[in-house]
Amino acid sequence: MSDTETTAVAEAPATETTPVVTPKQTLDITEIMAIIPHRYPFLLIDRVIEVEPRVRIVAIKNVSMNEPQFQGHFPDFPIMPGVMTIEAMAQAGAALMLTEYSQEDRADKLIFFTGIENARFRRPVTPGDQVRIEVKVIQWRSRAVKMEGSATVDGKVVCDATFSAQLVPRRREAAPATKSPTAE
């Protein structure tokens, strides 16, 4: 068959026994930056490899010796701070939540941590590691979520935690002006 020829492939219609499969969604770094507000040096996810809306997300963090935290944590034995692994899980969760909003709606919103529970750091993460971050939704409300996250390197869990976050306006409303007492 030549390069210009095509073959028609008949697709079976979806029935009760053959479910329709939704294609896997992925996001590159540019698309991630269009969704969450974090930027270098604090943007801690490099790629999203799976998204199931309102259910789960899988992201990748490539750890490099060029990252600034390794200058002081620790100079002779570089280890990614565990709190940064938790932050990477939170950023993946934020990306999952914010994909439910249009770009226009996202422009005036931020997601804040509201709690971290049962955080466990099981193995060190070092330069050269590729961290696979999986975040699953436990509870989803219109402006708040509770999720559980797990980070693995080479199939071994390095960190896991349950965390919650809330969607808030990007700009706070100004407090009403109060009259200051004046001397008469």
38 is catalytic: no
**Does residue 51 carry a pLDDT above 50?**
yes
Confidence of residue 13 (pLDDT cuts 50, 70, 90): very low
Q: How far apart are CA 114 and CA 123, in angstroms?
A: 25
CA 95, 61, 48, 118 torsion-angle sign? negative
Q: 99, 35 in Cβ contact below 8 A?
A: yes
What domains sit in the chain, N to C, each tagged with a CATH number?
Answer: 29-169 (3.10.129.10)
Q: Average pLDDT, stretch 87-102?
A: 95
Q: Average pLDDT, stretch 84-99?
A: 96
Q: Average pLDDT, stretch 85-111?
A: 93
3-state secondary structure of 94: helix
Find the radius of gyration of the CA atoms of the chain: 22
Q: Average pLDDT, stretch 78-106?
A: 95
pLDDT value for 171: 80
Q: Average pLDDT, stretch 133-160?
A: 97
DSSP class per residue in 140-161: E-SSEEEEEEEEEETTEEEEEE
Q: Average pLDDT, stretch 22-41?
A: 88
Which one of the listed residues 31, 33, 47, 73 is annotated catalytic?
Answer: 73
